[in-house]
Structure 1
Amino acid sequence: MALRDRLRRLVQRPGSADLAPFRKVVDEAGTRESRVRALTDAELTAAASALRDADDPAELCALGREAARRTLGERPFDVQLVGTLALLSGHVAEMATGEGKTLAGALAAAGYALRGRRVHVMSVNDYLARRDAEWMGPLYELLGVSVGWVGQASTPPERREAYRADVTYAPVSEVGFDLLRDRLVTDPAARVLREPSVALVDEADSVLVDEAMVPLVLAGASEIDAAEPRYADLARRLRPGLHYATDDEARNVQLTPAGAREVERALGVDLYAAEHLATLTAVNVALHAEVLLHRDVDYIVRDGAVKLISESRGRVALLQRWPDGLQAAVEAKEALEASPSGEILDSITVQELIGRYPVRCGMTGTAMAVAGQLTEFYSLQIAVVPPNRPCVRDDEPDRLYATAADKEVAIVEEIAAAHAEGRPVLVGTGDVAESERLARRLARAGLDRVVLNAKNDAEEAAIIAEAGAPGAITVSTQMAGRGTDIRLGGSPAPSAPGTAPAEEAGSGRDGVAAAGGLLVIGTGRYHSSRLDDQLRGRAGRQGDPGGSVFFTSLQDDLVTRYAPDEDSKAAASPDGRVDDKGAHWIVGHAQRVAEGVDLELHRNTWRYNHLIGLQRREVLAEREDVLTGDRGDRLMAEAVPERHAELTKAAGGPAVADAARQIVLYQLDRCWAEHLGFLADLREGIHLRSLGRGLDPLIEFNSEAVPAGKSLLGRARELSVEAFTALTASEDGIDLDSAGLKRPSATWTYLVHDNPFGSLDERALRGLIAMFKGRR
């Protein structure tokens, strides 16, 4: 085993952890199994409690294995315990689909808790958080560890109680929103979170990489951010080629000279005049919404509202909205009522949120593909845990076609052939529109199918659970049903609440296995090879037979967007298939370019947010001193001692101290919100400013953001002194209303979706350059 691990590490990328020490611990745990089995439940709980005073990972594994056997009906495999130990060592455990990550993670969370640490197990949605907390609940109880869960509908008291538990399951977004709300409390008792200790991240690649730079936002003083309908109407009338052109990657669109003249004629303005730059920007945003954002691809319309679709998951991205006026432009395009944007009171990225935890670890089926990013941004290593049974899935080479039409015909033929043999098929498509187009083709071919996309994602777990039934055809967008196993023959009978899902699959398992198992078909390469691997991983669970194949074409969006200059002259067979190695290289090249673009976007966003994070920490430190101590009172006593003495004489020391605290907290929060607005505006215009000075935009941003941040605390104190001086007092107390301390009557939360086209100023700049080039 040890030699195999060393050989594996030699061929893997840097950043992988050595499993040999973990295997030794697991072997030692095995020698204790018979002794632990003889313990009563009470003795087992007492033995687990004793681990709080002793660092004995082998004993933890032995006790955890026995507790799982008794409460869940599952005896963890050795490799699951290896995964547990990897998590307890602060690594990301890469474990294939169906290898028992949920149980391995629960044992690790219990291990941390028994060491006296508070653990947050972060998932991607409410469903998984609640399911796993309830499923693993009996295991935690036997080990003497308390567990709770938080969901979007949880009330503040419910959240506070859940976070008091040793282990808390919650969506990462809800933890972030709770942190933002806690940062605005005026009474320490109102906070729901405790100090961060351990973050155990489920689907770590999705959370730590795909969504790392997604800002979680707390907003107040809600207002309507509406785009003028006339711009949407105008963009709709413009003609491609004549009035506008798109770049090769379809990430930008700009007016042609003829288009600029048409806009000027329609609006009666000179787009090149400085006073009409806002109009040019509004037209550009409307044009981007009209041309580059597509319904049922980038978003859907549900219940009269625009719902964004997550690029990495193919599902509705709950609570997310586009920044920079793009959300309002899409709403205007769809003739929908504008949604409120509100004033941003505070925000935090997922990466910054996770970075608060002294201990970070995670688990996923595809970590090595992003090992570099996990090391670069989180200092995490990957522990590649081998499967309990060897994977026998047959991963076929890509089938490349000259045209998208030829590819779709071949896909339907492949599905029909597998279906005729009673073999279940799971098809991963790129977007909602493609999934529905393929479903229509299958219907015309007389093939029954189930479609899973952003329009019915609430049914995801139930649909995916049946994807292994004999002859089933499931068409899904992107990554289907993460967290839900696909068992050959279909889902088993329901298990009793609090117990593990039954292992025995439906009665058709043997027939499905004989037919070759689940066949996974990709209708095109995704923008990341990691997403390809995630789709492949749906087949071949725990040594089951299965297969996968990707159908690609030289007309795929990936190729035309990221390798537009690569032209293949290879001949195609009568059915359109292309076997030329050079043509296949083009598809792989396009995917590598796309991965590079995404990585650079991540790095660039991190550079901007790093400074903001440093400034936020300084403000929060000041706020904490004011909230929990007497700093506010001391600041006012030092700044205006005579006024402080007058108020104290009139209303008493405690009342004045409380008033000072409320005033300073309010001004700190007010100044921070205004500072965030300033930084957002600064970043929006920084490219245009830096262009004229020949400077790096980031350097230019820092040159203005740094002094603004340094003056923030001083400004907050000045405003606090003004408000404190204006207070009126009597024997009845301090009149805070006279100080104008009006906080938002309600706050709300959302996530800001990455702007896929760059900031407003970048788009306006590209448009200006294109128009000027056209006029020469």
Structure 2
Amino acid sequence: MGLRDGLRRLIGRAGTTEVGRYGSAITAADEIEGEIGDLEDAELRQAYDDIRGDLDDVPTQSEFCAVVREAAERGIGERPYDVQLQGALAIMNGTVVQMATGEGKTLAGAIAALGLVARGHRARVMSVNDYLARRDAEWMAPIYELLGVSVGWVTSASDHDQRKAAYAADICYGSVSEIGFDLLRDRLRTDTEQIVQTKPDALIIDEADSVMIDEAKVPLVLAGSLPVSDDGGSMAAIVTQLAAGKDYETSDDNTQVNLTDSGLARVEALLGVDDLYAEGNELLLTRVNVALYAETLVQRDVDYIVTDDHVRLVDPNRGRVAEQQRWPDGLHAAVEAKEGLQPSDRGEILDTITVQALIKHYGTVGGMTGTALAAAEQFREFYDLETGALPPHRPLIRTDEADRIYETAEDRDAAMVELIKESHDRQRPVLIGTHSVAGSEKIAELLAEVGVEAAVLNAKNDTEEAAVIAAAGQLGAVTVSTQMAGRGVDIKLGGGDEHEHDQVAELGGLLVIGHGRYHTSRLDDQLRGRAGRQGDPGTSVIFVSLEDDPTTAELHPRGAEIDDETGEITSPRIAGQVDHAQRITEGALLDTHRNSWNYSQQLDAQRTDVLSYRDRVLRTGLAAEEFQRLRPDRWKELAEEVEDEVLAEAARQLLLHQIDRAWSDHIAFTEDLREGIHLRALGRETPLMAYHSASDQAYRELRKKLLDDAAEAFEKAVITEDGLDEAASGIDRPTSTWTYMVDDQAFGSPEDRFLNALGGVIRRAVRGD
């Protein structure tokens, strides 16, 4: 970072990075455009090779821009706008750039990747899902090939060899989950030839706020299979016999549920136990609470869907199926039991990493999104990254109307349907953004009742996304979609037909309607951004109900003007309260993010230490040196019976297993520690400090015991001319591994869980039990 940039950062607000400072390079590129355009393909490739270097001075940047602009025009038939080139230069220099919908973020990211390769980096482009990773790689491939740059992609369908080849390419596209899971799998390799990823170097993140903020606290998990547990069905049968209000009560925000005294007595009778809170019943109590949570608070077609006899989670940030994701703490199994499904595999955790820690492994990070400035402070706090906004290629003329607020959800939905039908009758295309699968299907049903047929895009049919979105801007189209953030496509008026484009524009362009506010204004803005692309007209409006959850559930319209016929509230006071409620929710989400990060940093440092030692064991003869030092007699005895290379490899495999076993046990310890750490508050200890202290002590013991345990295992190991006999030596590697993501706050914060548990104890005390 230069002195000027350092001073700007020191005294400037987050989000004020001057992306336009690259304008002089773009102007200079325009001047040599004709000269570059006269080059043959081979000469163009040579010109790209000739400018490989730092790309820090304006002449080199300008030549780079001219070359990649020509390559893009030849390769995919698109001439990058000046703002795309400015954005690319900012991204490759470690900035998160805000670019409006329709401004060509995909191409800007590709140009930035070419810039990183020219600097000598191997670049990865991280997307929010497999579909976009493969689509963007294939779409941009002609540009890369023209310039002699190799490109690959990884998806959940990629096999081992395909993954290895993709990561070895100059540029590799992949979803955040696949890149993270491959890192976890590589950390457990026992043969360097099996490692698929190259060293983390440079990273470009599409939909950066979705990946880096919304998913930053989500742990990616690698587990080893254990026997399936089928004890959830009985607990599900018990909680279905409980009555709401009488046997259990839920919190106002529907995030917590607690047994009443009546419910507790009923559960104890059904289970045949005297005291559910007695010592020794902790696991049973947990199972009851989890089953009750699954039965009462987790909603089908909102939080999850059931397809092919499997529970599949719905990503609340994107409205699509969250592939390879599940809930923690037995909740997933409880929901399966609730639905009468066979329980899926469970496993012991072998390793984990948060999305935030994954991203921080890369030395150079940049990104692009349509709503970067709203998250500028978080980009700075958690990633040490600056943000800046680019002006649109053409002025934005979209009209963002004030929220329309209604007392009840029924009134809100009726008013929405009326506006949609009126617009549809005029052939104006309409896009409705909903929060859930159930919400999207409900709106579609209401529209069908008034004769309006809508295309529905949600987690049940997101494979049809491209076709649905391609038609969303056509005359008379009505599209109902769950969360549009991260879908990676913009809606073209007229569906790409020039004549129909003009007809739709005359009608006012695309009308975007929000079915309630999201938990963060960024998601509202991303929905609005689907209208008004590239200077097109458009309108956005959000319909809010005071029955919405969570942002408006506690608002009261006392003293506000309410239309007797429609139920609409026009009070500025209520509108302000809606804004305030959303800001409170955003603040709570930020606190959750910060809290998760504070707890995870120490574990990440410990993981780095362990992995450094493990890597030395994997790649060198360190294991042989350790065992010769620890058990010289045993080593001498075996050396007389087996070849040196065989013995050294057996030592390596044995020590690697001991490291992996110790680390898995440490993760299990820290998980249990964090679950109960807030009990320390009763002793006036700070939970976070107590957690760090206990975790540090456990890690010190791990390092001290690791070689002692390994030495004992070496004494008992069965090593022959064929190598280490793992079965005879008691080495229990998992028969298979699987990956998933967990919601770190599925049951609320640890503080909430502690207070709920404490409430149960107090209730028992009041009863005199």
- Same fold, TM exceeding 0.5? yes
Query: Residue by residue, what CA displacement relative to the aligned partner does 1:221-246 show, whole Å, maximum 9, x if unpaired?
Result: 33324443232222222222212112
1:347 aligns with 2:391: no
- Secondary structure of 1:549's counterpart equals strand
User: What pairs with 1:449-528 in structure 2 (closer than 5 Å)?
Assistant: 449-479=454-484, 482-490=487-495, 492=496, 505=497, 507-528=499-520
Opposite residue 699 of structure 2, the aligned amino acid is G
- Secondary structure of 1:343's counterpart equals strand
In the TM superposition, residue 733 of structure 1 has moved relative to its aligned partner by: 5.4
- Given candidates 399, 413, 422, the residue that maps to 1:408 is 413
1:581 aligns with 2:590: no
- Tell me, in whole angstroms, the C-alpha distance in 2 between the residues paired with 1:226 and 1:694: 40
Q: Given the superposition, is the C-alpha separation of residues 711 and 197 from structure 1 closer, same or farther in structure 2, using an over 3 Å criterion? A: same
- Tell me, in whole angstroms, the C-alpha distance in 1 between the residues paired with 2:156 and 2:517: 34
In the TM superposition, residue 760 of structure 1 has moved relative to its aligned partner by: 7.5
- Given candidates 663, 677, 688, the residue that maps to 1:686 is 677
- Tell me, in whole angstroms, the C-alpha distance in 2 between the residues paired with 1:248 and 1:297: 18
Partner of 2:35 in structure 1? 35
TM-score with structure 1 setting the length: 0.94
- Tell me, in whole angstroms, the C-alpha distance in 2 between the residues paired with 1:570 and 1:54: 61
Partner of 1:25 in structure 2? 25
1:221 aligns with 2:213: no
Partner of 2:524 in structure 1? 532
Q: Given the superposition, is the C-alpha separation of residues 525 and 101 from structure 1 closer, same or farther in structure 2, using an over 3 Å criterion? A: same
Partner of 1:133 in structure 2? 137
- Secondary structure of 2:245's counterpart equals coil
In the TM superposition, residue 261 of structure 1 has moved relative to its aligned partner by: 2.0
- Given candidates 273, 283, 287, the residue that maps to 2:288 is 283
Query: Residue by residue, what CA displacement relative to the aligned partner does 1:704-741 show, whole Å, maximum 9, x if unpaired?
Result: 11111112133221222112222455566555543223
User: What pairs with 1:166-185 in structure 2 (closer than 5 Å)?
Assistant: 166-185=170-189
Structure 2 residues not aligned, in runs of 5+: 1-7
Q: Is the 8 A contact 2:277 2:761 kept in 1?
A: no
In the TM superposition, residue 217 of structure 1 has moved relative to its aligned partner by: 1.2
- Given candidates 385, 390, 399, the residue that maps to 2:395 is 390
- Tell me, in whole angstroms, the C-alpha distance in 2 between the residues paired with 1:761 and 1:19: 42
Q: Is the 8 A contact 1:222 1:342 kept in 2?
A: yes
Q: Is the 8 A contact 1:464 1:480 kept in 2?
A: no
Q: Is the 8 A contact 1:461 1:481 kept in 2?
A: no
Q: Detail structure 1 runs of 4+ shifted over 4 Å in the superposition.
A: 728-737, 759-762
Q: Is the 8 A contact 2:678 2:754 kept in 1?
A: no
- Tell me, in whole angstroms, the C-alpha distance in 1 between the residues paired with 2:73 and 2:596: 46
Q: Given the superposition, is the C-alpha separation of residues 54 and 665 from structure 1 closer, same or farther in structure 2, using an over 3 Å criterion? A: closer
In the TM superposition, residue 306 of structure 1 has moved relative to its aligned partner by: 0.8
In the TM superposition, residue 74 of structure 1 has moved relative to its aligned partner by: 1.0
User: What pairs with 1:263-342 in structure 2 (closer than 5 Å)?
Assistant: 263-269=267-273, 270-342=275-347
Query: Residue by residue, what CA displacement relative to the aligned partner does 1:6-35 show, whole Å, maximum 9, x if unpaired?
Result: xx99x9952321124211111111111111
Opposite residue 15 of structure 2, the aligned amino acid is G
Q: Is the 8 A contact 1:126 1:171 kept in 2?
A: yes
Percent of matched pairs sharing the same residue: 51
Q: Given the superposition, is the C-alpha separation of residues 760 and 335 from structure 1 closer, same or farther in structure 2, using an over 3 Å criterion? A: farther
Partner of 1:551 in structure 2? 543
In the TM superposition, residue 567 of structure 1 has moved relative to its aligned partner by: 5.4
Opposite residue 80 of structure 2, the aligned amino acid is P
Partner of 1:366 in structure 2? 371
Q: Is the 8 A contact 1:140 1:146 kept in 2?
A: yes
Q: Is the 8 A contact 1:218 1:347 kept in 2?
A: yes
Partner of 1:496 in structure 2? none
In the TM superposition, residue 468 of structure 1 has moved relative to its aligned partner by: 0.3
Partner of 2:210 in structure 1? 206
In the TM superposition, residue 215 of structure 1 has moved relative to its aligned partner by: 1.1
Partner of 1:636 in structure 2? 627
Opposite residue 643 of structure 1, the aligned amino acid is R
Q: Given the superposition, is the C-alpha separation of residues 579 and 179 from structure 1 closer, same or farther in structure 2, using an over 3 Å criterion? A: same
Partner of 1:44 in structure 2? 44
1:715 aligns with 2:705: yes
- Secondary structure of 2:540's counterpart equals strand
- Given candidates 258, 262, 265, the residue that maps to 2:266 is 262
Q: Is the 8 A contact 1:114 1:145 kept in 2?
A: no
Opposite residue 269 of structure 2, the aligned amino acid is R
- Secondary structure of 2:741's counterpart equals strand
Partner of 1:664 in structure 2? 655
- Tell me, in whole angstroms, the C-alpha distance in 2 between the residues paired with 1:152 and 1:583: 46
Query: Residue by residue, what CA displacement relative to the aligned partner does 1:321-340 show, whole Å, maximum 9, x if unpaired?
Result: 00011111111111111111
- Given candidates 756, 765, 768, the residue that maps to 1:766 is 756
Q: Is the 8 A contact 2:291 2:335 kept in 1?
A: yes
Partner of 1:424 in structure 2? 429
Q: Given the superposition, is the C-alpha separation of residues 479 and 373 from structure 1 closer, same or farther in structure 2, using an over 3 Å criterion? A: same
- Secondary structure of 1:148's counterpart equals strand
1:108 aligns with 2:83: no
- Secondary structure of 2:494's counterpart equals coil
Structure 1 residues not aligned, in runs of 5+: 1-7, 493-504
In the TM superposition, residue 482 of structure 1 has moved relative to its aligned partner by: 2.0
In the TM superposition, residue 773 of structure 1 has moved relative to its aligned partner by: 5.1
In the TM superposition, residue 558 of structure 1 has moved relative to its aligned partner by: 2.5
Q: Given the superposition, is the C-alpha separation of residues 236 and 547 from structure 1 closer, same or farther in structure 2, using an over 3 Å criterion? A: same
TM-score with structure 2 setting the length: 0.95
Count of paired positions: 753
- Secondary structure of 1:52's counterpart equals coil
Greater Cα offset, 690-699 or 463-472: 690-699
Opposite residue 277 of structure 2, the aligned amino acid is Y
- Secondary structure of 2:258's counterpart equals strand
In the TM superposition, residue 276 of structure 1 has moved relative to its aligned partner by: 2.3
Opposite residue 621 of structure 2, the aligned amino acid is D
Opposite residue 43 of structure 2, the aligned amino acid is E
- Secondary structure of 1:508's counterpart equals helix
Q: Given the superposition, is the C-alpha separation of residues 322 and 227 from structure 1 closer, same or farther in structure 2, using an over 3 Å criterion? A: farther
- Tell me, in whole angstroms, the C-alpha distance in 2 between the residues paired with 1:748 and 1:54: 41
Query: Residue by residue, what CA displacement relative to the aligned partner does 1:204-263 show, whole Å, maximum 9, x if unpaired?
Result: 111101111111111113332444323222222222221211222211111122222222
1:706 aligns with 2:696: yes
Opposite residue 94 of structure 1, the aligned amino acid is Q
- Secondary structure of 2:397's counterpart equals coil
Q: Is the 8 A contact 2:429 2:510 kept in 1?
A: yes
- Tell me, in whole angstroms, the C-alpha distance in 1 between the residues paired with 2:72 and 2:531: 26
In the TM superposition, residue 421 of structure 1 has moved relative to its aligned partner by: 1.1
Q: Is the 8 A contact 1:355 1:378 kept in 2?
A: yes
Greater Cα offset, 706-715 or 259-268: 259-268
In the TM superposition, residue 756 of structure 1 has moved relative to its aligned partner by: 2.8
- Tell me, in whole angstroms, the C-alpha distance in 1 between the residues paired with 2:671 and 2:54: 50
Q: Is the 8 A contact 1:71 1:138 kept in 2?
A: yes
Query: Residue by residue, what CA displacement relative to the aligned partner does 1:446-476 show, whole Å, maximum 9, x if unpaired?
Result: 1111111111111112111110010111011
